[in-house]
Structure 1
């Protein structure tokens, strides 16, 4: 009786191991394509390994951006060009912020035995957003603190600087917000 039970147990174990091994070797066409793609990538990397840089101009630019904008009270000069090529400007405290930026997560990942779901989360104002307001920017006037918002798109572009521009197209720009370049210069 014990040997029969052992034989049955060994048979069940062999079947389970056999099924497990066959289920691990899926030969679907997608698996074959993925394997071919990985093998090709491995071959190309072996033939042409990525070069090694001695210096990164991208990292230098990011660090310069941090030095420029990572200070409290830094002013930004926002020049807006309309469809007719005319310029106007705002002077803001800090950088203009796209309205689609949030301080809270915009979605939550939930997983269960049924799979993974990404669920939208409400914003700080208790409403949901599609994130489609990335062409609308807001900020606060440099001297009055007034809220300002502008959009960019089909016929309007904006150019951002950390100092007033003296090139002719910018020098003749119309003041669009409460603060003028002269106001800022007189405070300095």
Structure 2
């Protein structure tokens, strides 16, 4: 079956009129949207300014958050400090524990800035600052951790999530015979760290 279609001047004229009408509609609505967006932004910011004027934020003379952050620094600012990592299931049962030299480190930690090479500070690129422990957080898989076994120096890696929670301590929990060592180090019945 062969069908022929002839395009006439009238067809071209109608198509051009439809395109012109559609363009006019798009331009009209994009102008309204931008105008509405700007109005909404001004209203929101104006409301915020009014709230701040009527209810200014309080200031603190003591920061419990900074105190706890400093406690964290004092706790872990010791070479060779041991950490005790207990894995817990969704029901609250302890599955086992690892003992590390230092803290376990998530895969989302980097020694170099994550934005290094993606711009030049000469051109106004704002770089993320390192955390207080001298590393950068946030790039990569934060559910996978690795660390150094306390007695053997072996590499250990574990994953969190999917119902597995981590309890991290700087001292062992009271000895529980049902909690098994998962790594090569364990706490003996006298509370001493020994090779498993």
Fold match by TM threshold 0.5: yes
* 2:84 equivalent in structure 1: 77
> Is residue 154 of structure 2 the alignment partner of residue 154 of structure 1?
no
1:83–1:35 distance in 2 versus 1, CA, 3 Å: closer
- Which whole-Å deviations, capped at 9, do the CAs of 1:80-107 have from their partners, x for residues lacking one? 1246734211100111000121112333
Give 5+ residue unaligned stretches, structure 1. 1-26, 118-129
The higher-RCO structure (CA 8 Å, 6+ apart) is 1
Q: What are the residue-to-residue correspondences of 1:10-25 with 2, within 5 Å? A: none
| Paired residues of 2:86 and 2:94 also in contact (CA < 8 A) | no
CA RMSD of aligned residues (A): 2.8
- Equivalent-residue separation in structure 1 for 2:41 and 2:193 (angstroms): 65
Taking structure 1 as the reference length, the TM-score comes to: 0.66
Deviation at 1:133, TM superposition (A): 1.8
- Equivalent-residue separation in structure 2 for 1:132 and 1:184 (angstroms): 36
- Equivalent-residue separation in structure 2 for 1:167 and 1:176 (angstroms): 15
Taking structure 2 as the reference length, the TM-score comes to: 0.64
1:39–1:164 distance in 2 versus 1, CA, 3 Å: same
Q: 1:61 is matched with which residue: 63, 68, 77?
A: 68
